[in-house]
C-alpha cells in the first residue's frame, strides 16, 4: 500500500511520500535509544510541562488538523474537531496525574518484616523506546492515548502510522517537537507494514503497542513473543447493544444510531450487534431504523454531515461483501444495503435483521454503518447471543432492572460494560478487550503502567 493521502470523498490522490530507507530508520533508532538515556532521568514536572505545551498547541491547531484528518480518512469535520479536543484533554489528564499513578508503593509492614527487610518499595521505571503501530480510523486519538502515558512514564515513542494518514503522522511528530521535546522523544517512521517486523526485532525497541486488525495483531504478537517483548494489542470488536423491556426505548434507539455510526461506523467500539428482547423488539426496530434512515450522508467537510465516506475503496468493498452475503443467505434489509451512485467511497446506513450464525456478518466485524438486529426471548438468550462472538471489546446494556445489570456485568465477555449509555473512552478509565479483541489495557493507571519495569526494591535490616 503506498504512503499517500487519498481523499475518500472523491478518490483523488493529493500527496504521496517515499518510505524511509534503512539508513534513515537506523538513524532514528539510534536517536531514540540515545534520547531515552537522558529523557528517562527527567522529572515528572518537566515531562508534564512539555505535555501541557503540546496540548496547548493542539488546541491552537484544532481546525487545521481536523481538516487534515477529514481529508485523509473522511471523518465528518465536527467529529474531527472533537477528536483533537479529546486528545488535548487526555494529554492534560496524564500531565496532572502521572506522578501520582507511578508513585512508589509501600507493601504492608507485616509483609516487609516477614521478608526480613527493613524497607521494601515497588517502583515504576520506564522500559525504553516503544513502537506504536496505529490505525487510520482515529488518527490522532489512537496515537495520543499511547504517547501521553508513555512519555509521562519516561519512555520514548516510535510511531508507525497507517499508510493512508501520513500528513497526520507527520503532524504528530512536529507537534511534540514544537512543544519542546527533543527530537528523539517522539519520531514518526514513514514505512510500510513490511518494515515493522525488522524494527520490532531490533534490540533497541523494548516494547510495542498495536491498534488494528486481527491479522496485524497476530503478526506483531508473534514477532514480539519470539523476541520476548511486551505488547499491548487492541484489535477488532463486534460489540453487543442489548435492550431489555424496562429500558427507555426511545432513548435507547436514539443512542443506538449514534453508537452504530460514530466515525461512519468505522470504530472498534461502535455497537454493531443490536440484541433486543422480543417484548420491545418491534418498537425498537422501528425507531432505530427510522433514525438510521434520517442520517445525513455527504461531504465530510460539510458541518451538517453525520455520515461521511468510508476510508478506502477496499473498505467499502469488504463491507459490501458482508451485506451481500447476508442478503443471499436470507437476511432482511430494513434500510440501506445498496452502494450509491457517484464519486467517493460512500455506503448508506444499513439495518439488517434475520441474521443467522452461518452468515459472515454474524462472525466478522462490519467496519462501516451497517447494523444487525437480533431478537432475544429472555435475558439468558440475550447473554448467549452477545457472547456468541470471537471478539470481546466492549458492550452496552439498556435496562432499569438492577438484577439484570448485575447479571450482564457478571456474564458478558467484554472489556467494558456500559449501562444505559454508549461506549466511549476516557483517560481515567482502562480500555481494552478480551478474546480476539486483544490484551492489555490503555488509558488510566493501568495503561501507563503497561510499559513500565515494575521493580521491587528490597533493603536489608
What pLDDT, in 10s, does the model give residues 324-373?
Answer: 999 999 999 999 999 999 999 999 999 999 999 999 999 999 999 999 99
DSSP 8-state secondary structure symbol assigned to residue 264: G
Lookup: cell for 446: 493501568
What average pLDDT does range 287-291 have in this prediction? 98
The answer to whether the beta carbons of residues 264 and 310 sit under 8 Å apart is yes
- Determine contact, residues 133/212, Cβ cutoff 8 Å: yes
Q: In the structure, what pLDDT confidence band is assigned to residue 142 with cuts at 50, 70 and 90?
A: very high
Predicted confidence (pLDDT) at residue 169 exceeds the cutoff of 80: yes
pTM: 0.97
pLDDT reported for residue 197: 98
**Does residue 447 have a pLDDT over 90?**
yes
268 in active site: yes
Question: Could you give the C-alpha distances from 27 to 109, 183, 190, 340, in angstroms and in order?
Answer: 48, 12, 13, 47
Element (H, E) at 241: strand 239-243
Please give the full DSSP string across 212-233, using - where no structure is assigned. Answer: S-HHHHHHHHHHHHHHT-EEEE
Annotated catalytic residue, options 33, 173, 234, 364: 234
pLDDT of res. 71: 98
Residue 1 has pLDDT above 80, yes or no: no
Residue 75 has pLDDT above 80, yes or no: yes
**Mean pLDDT of the residues in the chain:** 98
Q: Which three cell numbers stand for residue 30?
A: 539510534
pLDDT in tens, 242-266: 999 999 999 999 999 999 999 999 9
Asked whether the predicted pLDDT for residue 93 surpasses 80, the reply is: yes
236 neighbors 214 (Cβ within 8 angstroms): yes
Name the residue among 212, 142, 171 with its Cα closest to residue 5.
171
Question: Are the C-beta atoms of residues 240 and 395 closer than 8 Å to each other?
Answer: yes
What is the phi/psi pair of residue 371, to 5°? -110, 145
- The closest alpha carbon to 352, from 367, 369, 339, 377, belongs to 369
Cα 276-277-279 angle, rounded to 5 deg = 125
Question: How many whole angstroms separate alpha carbon 200 and alpha carbon 178?
Answer: 27
pLDDT in tens, 20-62: 999 999 999 999 999 999 999 999 999 999 999 999 999 999 9
Q: What is the mean pLDDT of residues 275-291?
A: 98
pLDDT at 246: 98
Q: Which residue in the list 87, 185, 268, 452 is annotated as catalytic?
A: 268
pLDDT at 461: 83
Q: What is the pLDDT of residue 276?
A: 98
Is 234 labeled as catalytic in the residue annotation?
A: yes
Residue 135's pLDDT is: 98
pLDDT band for 193, please (50, 70, 90 cuts).
very high
What is the percent of the chain with per-residue pLDDT over 70, rounded to a whole number? 100
Amino acid at each position: 500500500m503506498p504512503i499517500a493521502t487519498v481523499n475518500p470523498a472523491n478518490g483523488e490522490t493529493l500527496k504521496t511520500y517515499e518510505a524511509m530507507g534503512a539508513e534513515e530508520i537506523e538513524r532514528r533508532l539510534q536517536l531514540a535509544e540515545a534520547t531515552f538515556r537522558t529523557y528517562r532521568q527527567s522529572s515528572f514536572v518537566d515531562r508534564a510541562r512539555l505535555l501541557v505545551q503540546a496540548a496547548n498547541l493542539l488546541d491552537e491547531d484544532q481546525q487545521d488538523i481536523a481538516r487534515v484528518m477529514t481529508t485523509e480518512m473522511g471523518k465528518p469535520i465536527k467529529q474531527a474537531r472533537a477528536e483533537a479536543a479529546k486528545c488535548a484533554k487526555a494529554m492534560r489528564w496524564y500531565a496532572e496525574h502521572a506522578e501520582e499513578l507511578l508513585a512508589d508503593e509501600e507493601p504492608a509492614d507485616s509483609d516487609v518484616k516477614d521478608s526480613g527487610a527493613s524497607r521494601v518499595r515497588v517502583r515504576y521505571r520506564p522500559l525504553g523506546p516503544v513502537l506504536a503501530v496505529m490505525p487510520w480510523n482515529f488518527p490522532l486519538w489512537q496515537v495520543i492515548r499511547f504517547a501521553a502515558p508513555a512519555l509521562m512514564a519516561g519512555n520514548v515513542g516510535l510511531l508507525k502510522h497507517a499508510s493512508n494518514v501520513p500528513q497526520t503522522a507527520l503532524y504528530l511528530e512536529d507537534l511534540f517537537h514544537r512543544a519542546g521535546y527533543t527530537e528523539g522523544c517522539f519520531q514518526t517512521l514513514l514505512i510500510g507494514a513490511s518494515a515493522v517486523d525488522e524494527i520490532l526485532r531490533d534490540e533497541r525497541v523494548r516494547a510495542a503497542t498495536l491498534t488494528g486488525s486481527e491479522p496485524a495483531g497476530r503478526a506483531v504478537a508473534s514477532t514480539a513473543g519470539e523476541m520476548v517483548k511486551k505488547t499491548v494489542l487492541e484489535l477488532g470488536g463486534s460489540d453487543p447493544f442489548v435492550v431489555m423491556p424496562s429500558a427507555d426505548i426511545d432513548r435507547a434507539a436514539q443512542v443506538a444510531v449514534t453508537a452504530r455510526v460514530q466515525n461512519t461506523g468505522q470504530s472498534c467500539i461502535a455497537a454493531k450487534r443490536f440484541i433486543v428482547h422480543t417484548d420491545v423488539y418491534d418498537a425498537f426496530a422501528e425507531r432505530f431504523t427510522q433514525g438510521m434512515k434520517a442520517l445525513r450522508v455527504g461531504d465530510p467537510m460539510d458541518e451538517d454531515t453525520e455520515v461521511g465516506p468510508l476510508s478506502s475503496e477496499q473498505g467499502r468493498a469488504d463491507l459490501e461483501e458482508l451485506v451481500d452475503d447476508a442478503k443471499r443467505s436470507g437476511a432482511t434489509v430494513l434500510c440501506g444495503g445498496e452502494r450509491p451512485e457517484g464519486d467517493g467511497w460512500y455506503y448508506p446506513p444499513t439495518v439488517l435483521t434475520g441474521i443467522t450464525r452461518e452468515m459472515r456478518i454474524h462472525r466478522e466485524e462490519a467496519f462501516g454503518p451497517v447494523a444487525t438486529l437480533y431478537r432475544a426471548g429472555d435475558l439468558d438468550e440475550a447473554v448467549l447471543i452477545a457472547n456468541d462472538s470471537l471478539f470481546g471489546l466492549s458492550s452496552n446494556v439498556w435496562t432499569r432492572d438492577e438484577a439484570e445489570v448485575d447479571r450482564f456485568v457478571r456474564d458478558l465477555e467484554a472489556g467494558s460494560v456500559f449501562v444505559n449509555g454508549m461506549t466511549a473512552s476516557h483517560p481515567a478509565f482502562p480500555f481494552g478487550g478480551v478474546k480476539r479483541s486483544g490484551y492489555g489495557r490503555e488509558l488510566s493507571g493501568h495503561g501507563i503502567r503497561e510499559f513500565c519495569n515494575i521493580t521491587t526494591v528490597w533493603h536489608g535490616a
